């Protein structure tokens, strides 16, 4: 069974192709600059050089058509023809009150339109992608995978805002949360690493990238999460402010005669790390480089970011009552050794003990790692996220009629012997270059460990 997975932005279409029978990803790519001069497609396929092609795409239909052409190309493609595609998955950033993935029909599209203003930077583009893909592939099942679905188990005490009741009843103003597929995957992998059932584990998942969130998972279900109605709330991010006093907005709108749209742009695209570094760096790699070279604003930006994460960890520890593990994932969480150290420093009295050597060894996204000390009461894991496999299995189960809300559904990656073969192969190559990476890696078969040591 071949699954085409799409993630449509306002001027881009990211895609991947997954072979369910072989349990492996065939390729991943993106069409960039849709509707802008200089559109191009870039595709990565395991074992082959990156393929790039420039072609103007005036809209999402053009872009998805280019994706299909590339996937079926005799030289660069991965499938014989579009007829082998069993389903198309669509990642939806804001699924509103959808509690699970759903097969697309006109009613689903209409509901996404109704909540489009809750995620104006994302959902309108998703809808354009769905319509374009349905037009090009009308005989294929299309499925929406909701990034907010995992968080629908939050109690009202977590998701309600202290705002006029009619705002909730008439306009659906509440906390929704995001990065749901990532949290679902990593929290369940953490349970496997702990050797426990999912419903026995309390975890805090720190998904830290350009967008960032912290989620409290109690007995395998979302208890609370830092992002809110939109992805703006919570942590300091690349260009998003995260939590602020709302009065600042009204004060500065008056001072600068600023419109609501202008303020929205500032909070989402001109704040965060970018603002803290003096309107210079939104990418944390640049911020870390600046800090290492003595840039005081870059140092401050990292201090503010890490302190905010630490505060959420502390709050969620209190909310959970008992904490089994902390998980770091996503681009920064998986690769930034010093960021993990800054976040966890000072939490030793709570039984959170970082092993410096293991933490330094976990600087690759190619393997699951344990970076806590042996005497740490709370385990600390670095787990590479895999949102694709969550969506793919949802789609496969929907087609088979076996799917249900995540609290009643078991994923293949919850099995003890689940392996990501492509990631294992990449990790082996990493270890050959840097043997010290083995110090932190967990869940590796003994035979593989011995082979790598030899």
Is 91 annotated as ligand-binding?
yes
3-class state of residue 46 by DSSP: coil
Catalytic center residues: 147
Is 208 annotated as ligand-binding?
yes
Is 425 annotated as ligand-binding?
no
Is 116 annotated as ligand-binding?
no
Q: Which two tokens stand for residue 20?
A: 């369910």
Is 111 annotated as ligand-binding?
no
Q: Which two tokens stand for residue 26?
A: 């065939």
Is 7 annotated as ligand-binding?
yes
Distance CA 185, CA 200 (A): 16
Distance CA 369, CA 340 (A): 13
Is 36 annotated as ligand-binding?
no
Question: What is the enclosing helix (H) or strand (E) of 384?
Answer: none
Distance CA 372, CA 440 (A): 9
Is 429 annotated as ligand-binding?
no
Alpha helix (H) ranges present in 137-207?
Answer: 156-159, 165-171, 180-194
| Residues belonging to the chain | 454
3-class state of residue 38 by DSSP: coil
Is 321 annotated as ligand-binding?
no
Is 174 annotated as ligand-binding?
no
Cβ-Cβ contacts under 8 Å for 106 (sequence gap 6 or more): none
Is 191 annotated as ligand-binding?
no
Q: Are 313 and 234 in contact (CB under 8 A)?
A: no
Q: Are 390 and 185 in contact (CB under 8 A)?
A: yes
Is 284 annotated as ligand-binding?
yes
Cβ-Cβ contacts under 8 Å for 75 (sequence gap 6 or more): none
Cβ-Cβ contacts under 8 Å for 172 (sequence gap 6 or more): 96, 97, 115, 118
**What angle, rounded to 10 degrees, do the helices at 60-71 and 123-136 form?**
50
Cβ-Cβ contacts under 8 Å for 26 (sequence gap 6 or more): 2, 17, 18, 19, 45, 46, 78, 79
The binding site for Mg(2+) comprises 7, 387
Q: Which residues are annotated as a binding site?
A: 7, 14, 91, 207-211, 283-285, 387
User: Known binding site for substrate: residues?
Assistant: 91
Binding residues for ATP: 14, 207-211, 283-285
């Amino acid at each position: 069974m071949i699954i085409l997975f799409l993630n449509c932005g306002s001027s881009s279409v990211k895609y991947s192709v997954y072979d369910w029978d072989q349990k492996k990803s065939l390729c991943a790519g993106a069409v960039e600059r849709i509707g802008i001069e200089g559109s191009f497609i870039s595709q990565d396929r395991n074992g082959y050089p990156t393929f790039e092609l420039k072609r103007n795409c005036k809209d999402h239909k053009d872009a998805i058509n280019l994706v299909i052409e590339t996937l079926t190309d005799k030289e660069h493609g991965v499938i014989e023809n579009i007829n082998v595609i069993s389903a198309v998955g669509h990642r939806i950033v804001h699924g509103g009150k959808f509690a699970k993935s759903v097969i697309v029909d006109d009613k689903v599209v209409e509901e996404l339109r109704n909540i489009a203003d809750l995620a104006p930077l994302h959902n309108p583009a998703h809808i354009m992608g769905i319509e374009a893909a349905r037009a090009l592939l009308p005989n294929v099942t299309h499925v929406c995978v909701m990034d907010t679905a995992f968080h629908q188990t939050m109690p009202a005490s977590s998701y309600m805002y202290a705002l006029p009741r009619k705002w909730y009843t008439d306009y659906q103003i509440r906390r929704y949360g995001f990065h749901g597929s990532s949290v679902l995957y990593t929290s369940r992998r953490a349970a496997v690493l702990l050797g426990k059932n999912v419903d026995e584990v309390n975890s805090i998942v720190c998904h830290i990238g350009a967008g960032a969130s912290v989620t409290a998972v109690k007995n395998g279900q979302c208890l609370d999460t830092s992002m809110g109605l939109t992805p703006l709330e919570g942590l300091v991010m690349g260009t998003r402010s995260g939590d602020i006093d709302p009065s600042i907005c009204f004060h500065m709108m008056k001072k600068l005669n600023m419109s609501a749209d202008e303020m929205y742009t500032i909070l989402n695209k001109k704040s965060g790390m970018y603002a803290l570094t003096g309107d210079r760096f939104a990418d944390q790699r640049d911020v870390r480089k600046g800090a290492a070279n003595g840039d005081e604003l870059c140092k401050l930006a990292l201090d503010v970011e890490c302190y905010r994460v630490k505060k959420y960890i502390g709050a969620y520890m209190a909310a959970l009552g008992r904490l089994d593990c902390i998980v770091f994932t996503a681009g920064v969480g998986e690769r930034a050794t010093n960021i993990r150290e800054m976040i966890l420093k000072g939490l030793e009295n709570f039984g959170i003990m970082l092993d410096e050597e293991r933490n330094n060894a976990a600087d690759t996204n190619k393997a699951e790692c344990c970076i806590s000390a042996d005497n740490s009461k709370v385990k600390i894991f670095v787990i590479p996220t895999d949102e694709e496999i969550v969506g793919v299995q949802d789609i496969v189960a929907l087609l088979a009629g076996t799917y249900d809300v995540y609290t009643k559904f078991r994923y293949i990656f919850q099995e003890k012997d689940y392996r990501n073969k492509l990631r294992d192969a990449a990790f082996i190559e990493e270890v050959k270059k840097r043997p010290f990476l083995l110090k932190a890696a967990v869940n590796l078969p003994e035979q593989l460990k011995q082979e790598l040591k030899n």
